[in-house]
Structure 1
């Protein structure tokens, strides 16, 4: 598979794109806090605006991706993200970037990220043989984990050593490199197979409704949906408070914050390895509930941190390694459950429904985090929102998901167009 030039260029482009995306998730909030002096409520609004496109666009983007070449969509998406971050960098260097303009940049980057993420996952199916999908997905997810390690660290270091505008410019460069690499796929002579378009547009609303109805009617999928929504909601609130707590209360530099957050990357790699063994040994339900409880519960230690960076940074690294390991273990196990209990003809719509319901709660969570930090202060707010994350494993523990054994049930038949 690595001998395939088209796949190599997709992998390079996707890696550069993920590096830019992960860096921007740290750079834009730090830009607001350190350069523009944004308060808790303003930071919550910034994060909410950047996350809102997941809720607003995901289901529809899936339909559009099925009708267009993924290479074209990925190139345009990353070119747009490069333009948005580049404009923010120039305006920041000239002293002309205010919070309203930064909100526009955050929304544009978030919207284009939805297009890129859906397109690159679909592109692999069109690019490689069915028997190569596992290895292809492994390679792409490996690069995503590597970006989780390098992206936040790169963004934090650049903000700390140089400036937030320079860090934004570095993110733009990553997106430019991604666009050029993916654009060069056409030189390989490989032609992407695109589903044929009917003269009459598909009934999008009806097909979306079928996916929603199927998820709501299946106990396991319904629980996954609710648990994902609870986790993403409170995790978004936790991260909003953390981005205030770490630089202001603990007085950590941008580089230290980036390094601590990057520790989720090695944890995610470890979690991927454990996910290949633990469910088959202890049962899918036991792994799901225990990993979710441990990974979410570890954040309860963060509000107790005090002292110098020589103490707090290693503690934060340990927290993020545990969280990264457990969250990846949950993600992979949940994906296996979802794919197994879902008929082939419903896979895309079920994935989109769960993703929309889960990630769609993040804007509200970010707003809650900013509001609570304003009212209660960062330390108390962090404790409350971290405790709220435990609602996710509690929902799974009280559902049939907790009783899933070493083997998973077969999908039910479904009559769907």
Structure 2
């Protein structure tokens, strides 16, 4: 593809790209900072730290299906802007409590719940908005570019968050992080391409419309397999990651900066994966890339529980790097597969249904990790989670994706672009 034909030169995609990058930096740093705020400032137990992570992700389980219906009824650009502004205000609400020394765990849980609900709408909307901006034939490139910046956000977020916690108090660092969402809203507001107003739904019914999205996903065997693999991986990932913060920070006594460095090294694997994802999919085929990416890298996760405050810290970080590399290649391939397969009118509901299924396991994983850590120990739950992630490839391996090169691509009719 000629360089000038890259989506980097597509004005509105570039604005979405910048806005999404800012939002992802804020999201990644929040997932790191809020549990750290509970652990360091509020002296939370491992179970309470797990509850903060549960609150951050619970909305994917509670709101996942209705969010898809509402996104399909609305202009998705507006949903993105409102979600960003709402997250800014939610995190800013910590300022008075921090200033007067009355910040409590219940307030932190409430902020995490509101923040998580708005994140559901943002994530469903941007995945549904991308095909409108770039067209079906450029989805792999668009997803790879967005994924690369998301990985950079994941790489920089924990380190920036750790350094900010050391320079400021944790609560003020969280509030400063909220400005990322305000910056994202500005860039998305600058996008000039407007979606047509969604057609009015005769006799709208939330339940019936949500069921239509469920039927589409469950009626397609590859989508069912993707949901099973991704949901399994996310369940064990969220059981492990909050406990890694506790292990590195509380048990090994590492500084916030070094804890952030561990997750930054892992996120660097995601950056590398995003940069390689398109070429790997072109070589192996999109279907085979989906299962091979996590099958070949998942076992490296068994290095993570070996972490100690010596050379084994770097060995564990290398394992985190490999798992993140495979996970990102997998994500680019499976998201592009889903978007190309789905009719546009169902994109919001399909993405929301998949998010409900695959992210809905995350609060369960965080709750499971915190509960079991109190019973069998923090390092034991990290070992268990590493084994679960290593086996997560099995549903997609045992599906038709094992031999498929890609989805049945279809041309979409040209959309009329209108101005508001």
Is this a same-fold pair by TM over 0.5? yes
What TM-score, normalized by structure 2, do the two folds share?
0.86
Higher mean C-alpha deviation, range 120-129 or range 37-46: 120-129
Task: State the secondary structure of the residue aligned to 1:392.
Answer: coil
Q: Distance in 1 between matches of 2:135 and 2:341?
A: 23
Which residue does 1:165 correspond to in 2? 171
Which residue does 1:293 correspond to in 2? 295
Q: Say whether 1:315 aligns with 2:315.
A: yes
Q: Which residues of 2 match residues 242-321 of structure 1 at below 5 A?
A: 242-282=244-284, 287-308=289-310, 311-321=311-321
- Which of 17, 20, 32 is 1:11 aligned to? 17
Q: Distance in 2 between matches of 1:285 and 1:122?
A: 21
Stretches of structure 1 that go unaligned for 5 or more consecutive residues are 413-417
What TM-score, normalized by structure 1, do the two folds share?
0.87
Task: State the secondary structure of the residue aligned to 1:322.
Answer: helix
Task: State the secondary structure of the residue aligned to 2:394.
Answer: helix
Higher mean C-alpha deviation, range 120-129 or range 222-231: 120-129
Which residue does 1:38 correspond to in 2? 44
How far apart are 1:344 and its partner, in Å? Answer: 6.2
How far apart are 1:347 and its partner, in Å? Answer: 4.8
Change (3 A) 1:228 1:139: closer
Q: 2:72–2:347: 8 Å Cα contact kept in structure 1?
A: no
- Which of 94, 104, 109 is 1:98 aligned to? 104
Q: Distance in 2 between matches of 1:89 and 1:307?
A: 34
Change (3 A) 1:389 1:140: closer
Q: Say whether 1:153 aligns with 2:153.
A: no
Higher mean C-alpha deviation, range 17-26 or range 4-13: 4-13
Q: 1:93–1:165: 8 Å Cα contact kept in structure 2?
A: no
Q: Distance in 1 between matches of 2:345 and 2:73?
A: 17
Q: Distance in 2 between matches of 1:128 and 1:230?
A: 31
How far apart are 1:386 and its partner, in Å? Answer: 1.7
Task: State the secondary structure of the residue aligned to 1:195.
Answer: coil
Higher mean C-alpha deviation, range 8-17 or range 250-259: 8-17
Which residue does 2:181 correspond to in 1? 175
Which residue does 2:67 correspond to in 1? 61
How far apart are 1:56 and its partner, in Å? Answer: 1.6
Which residue does 2:370 correspond to in 1? 370
Which residue does 1:415 correspond to in 2? none
Task: State the secondary structure of the residue aligned to 1:277.
Answer: helix
Q: Distance in 2 between matches of 1:82 and 1:238?
A: 28
How far apart are 1:388 and its partner, in Å? Answer: 2.1
Change (3 A) 1:198 1:337: closer
How far apart are 1:381 and its partner, in Å? Answer: 1.7
Higher mean C-alpha deviation, range 30-39 or range 328-337: 328-337
Stretches of structure 2 that go unaligned for 5 or more consecutive residues are 1-6, 411-420
Q: Say whether 1:394 aligns with 2:394.
A: yes
Change (3 A) 1:313 1:225: same
Q: 2:21–2:149: 8 Å Cα contact kept in structure 1?
A: yes
Q: Deviations over 1:48-82 (max 9, x none)?
A: 11101112222222222233333332222222211
Q: Deviations over 1:84-104 (max 9, x none)?
A: 111214422431111000000
Q: Deviations over 1:179-222 (max 9, x none)?
A: 2333344xxxx361233442745344233323323333333222
Q: 1:256–1:313: 8 Å Cα contact kept in structure 2?
A: no
Q: 1:127–1:192: 8 Å Cα contact kept in structure 2?
A: no
Q: 2:269–2:325: 8 Å Cα contact kept in structure 1?
A: yes
Higher mean C-alpha deviation, range 337-346 or range 86-95: 337-346
Q: Deviations over 1:224-262 (max 9, x none)?
A: 222222111111101122121111222221111112112
Q: Distance in 2 between matches of 1:361 and 1:48?
A: 10
How far apart are 1:325 and its partner, in Å? Answer: 0.9
Higher mean C-alpha deviation, range 271-280 or range 39-48: 271-280
- Which of 73, 90, 94 is 1:88 aligned to? 94
Q: Distance in 2 between matches of 1:277 and 1:46?
A: 38
Q: Say whether 1:113 aligns with 2:119.
A: yes
Q: Distance in 2 between matches of 1:383 and 1:136?
A: 35
Q: 1:90–1:165: 8 Å Cα contact kept in structure 2?
A: no
Q: How well do the aligned residues superpose, as a CA RMSD in angstroms?
A: 2.8
Which residue does 1:380 correspond to in 2? 380
Which residue does 2:219 correspond to in 1? 217
Change (3 A) 1:47 1:198: same
Change (3 A) 1:73 1:252: same
Q: Say whether 1:50 aligns with 2:52.
A: no
